Amino acid sequence: MKKIIGKAWKYRDNINTDEIIPAKFLNTSDPKELAQHCMAGIDEGFTKKISLGDIIVGGQNFGCGSSREHAPWAIKEAGISCVIAKTFARIFYRNAINIGLPIIESKEAAEEIQEKDIVEVNLDAGKIINRTKKKEYQITAYPEFMQKLISAGGLLNYISSKMQRGRAKG
């Protein structure tokens, strides 16, 4: 698993997908174009201030609202390596898992990480490490089915390998 480390950018509860990618940018589905407008509904300077690998830290119900997959695509393509939040809205959660954007529920970490803290996430060890505050948090393991999706690199890769196995057996 790729190493995840970066600066934390912190947001409030109920960040919705209109804030992550406003509808005025939905007349395209090109991830690179979407990435230019990432967080434009809440933080217009977002894409200028972040560096590759940075981490978004949200509160409760992160990604609520519309089902637009443009939201996790914009975040992923903007170079964000992981989203940590207290809780996630369900469509955003499954969209992120499906497209291979690492996403972690941790009430404690989301509460305690401060803006611009340097945070490392080690998915294999199941740990979030706040290097600035020198504090570690255990991540609850994903359910078994979702682990398969994640290790396959997303839903379509999972289906593809399942189909290949099916053909090999047949």
Partner 1 sequence: MPMTITEKILAAHIGKEAVCPDDFIEARVDIALGNDVTAPIAIREFESFGAKEVFDRDRLVLVPDHYAPNKDIKSAEQCKILRDFARKHKITHYFEIGSMGVEHALLPEQGIVLPGDLIIGADSHTCTYGALGAFSTGIGSTDLAAVMITGKIWFRVPRSIKICFTGELNPWVSGKDLILYTIGKIGVDGALYMSMEFTGPTITALDMDSRFSICNMAIEAGAKNGIIPPDETTLQYVTERAKREYTVYQSDSDAQYHQEYSFKTEEIQPQVALPPLPENSKSVEELEDIVIDQVVIGSCTNGRISDFRQAAKILKGHKVDPRVRLIIIPATQNIYKQAMEEGLFSIFLDAGAVISTPTCGPCLGGYMGVLAAGERALATTNRNFIGRMGHLESEVYLSNPAVAAASAITGKISHPKEVISSIAKEAKKT
CB of 1 to partner 1, least distance (A): 20
CA distance 140 to 11: 22
Which position has the token pair 């991830």? 31
Among 69, 85, 104, 121, interactor with partner 1 by CB under 8 A:
69
Residues in 83-122 at the binding interface with partner 1, rule: CB under 8 A: 87, 89-91, 94-95, 98-99
Mention every residue, 6+ apart, whose C-beta is less than 8 A from residue 142: 150
Map the footprint of partner 1 across residues 119-158, applying CB under 8 A: 143-146, 149, 154-156
Whether 89 contacts 61, CB under 8 Å: yes
The CA R_g of the chain, rounded to the nearest whole Å, is 16
| Binding residues vs partner 1 (CB under 8 A) | 14, 16, 18-19, 22-24, 26-29, 41-42, 60-61, 64-70, 72-73, 87, 89-91, 94-95, 98-99, 143-146, 149, 154-156, 159-160
